[in-house]
Amino acid sequence: MINDPIKSNITIDNYLDSHYIHRSNWLRAAVLGANDGIISISSLAIGIAAASTSREPIVLATVAGLVAGALSMAAGEYVSVSSQTDTENADIEREKTELREMPEEELHILAQIYEKRGLKKETAMQVAIEFTEKDALAAHIRDELGINEISQANPIQAAFASGASFTIGGVLPLIVVLFAPIEGMEYWLYGSTILFLILLGGLSAKTGGSSISKAILRITIWGTIAMGLSALVGYVFGVRV
């Protein structure tokens, strides 16, 4: 039997290179930031445009919203993910204490985890023993707490991805505000924003390996609702500026 040279080169070190799960942390933050940048800045601009007869207040509000939103997104993401990291670290410290004070109980817990995953009782215990002998803490962090290098939070990475993607997303409606005709600008903003959201949905789905049509539909529907409500507020409180 001839071995496939391509398959023979696959190892555990390069197997996940073609998978998408390792992108989940930064992709989630980037898509959230870009989506928020496009929708919030467009909604803000639409609301002001619906109550304005000149370009200056629309540009001013859009730029202010872009700067404040990008900083808020980055700071919020950093604080949020840092809280997750603190929780993970607290659990790891607790696990260290438990391994030191009750190693036998921890060994049996690990064996029960493997047994529930489908191993026979004897096999589960043998696996737990071998993992414990190699690195007990790593085994419990991974299999008891569910923390690994893919899912582990990274505050700096998440903050940068959110802030940068919000800025990129927010710049798109700002360009429309700068160059679109003042008459009917809200319609120009709505149409262009839908196009931006379709592109973002397709790009995020392609990067994450998910359904492109589902991503586009989801992001377009919620974007339309947000912009529609913002325009309604502008018309209802239509103070002309």
Q: pLDDT tens digit string along 70-89?
A: 999 889 889 988 888 888 88
> What does the DSSP 8-state code read for residue 1?
-
pLDDT tier at 155, thresholds 50, 70, 90 = confident
> What does the DSSP 8-state code read for residue 14?
T
Query: Which tops the pLDDT comparison, 164 or 4?
Result: 164
C-alpha to C-alpha distance for 156 and 73, rounded to whole angstroms: 12
Q: Do the beta carbons of residue 108 and residue 121 sit within 8 Å?
A: no
Geometric angle at alpha carbon 30, from 73 and 83, rounded to 5°: 55
Name the 3-class secondary structure at 125. helix
- What is the pLDDT at residue 11? 54
Q: Do the beta carbons of residue 65 and residue 41 sit within 8 Å?
A: yes
Q: Do the beta carbons of residue 194 and residue 220 sit within 8 Å?
A: yes
In the chain, the amino acid numbered 189 is L
**Strands of 119-235, DSSP E:** none
Q: pLDDT tens digit string along 95-119?
A: 999 999 999 999 999 999 999 998 9
Look at the pTM and tell me if it is higher than 0.75.
no
- Name the helix (H) or strand (E) containing 158: helix 155-179
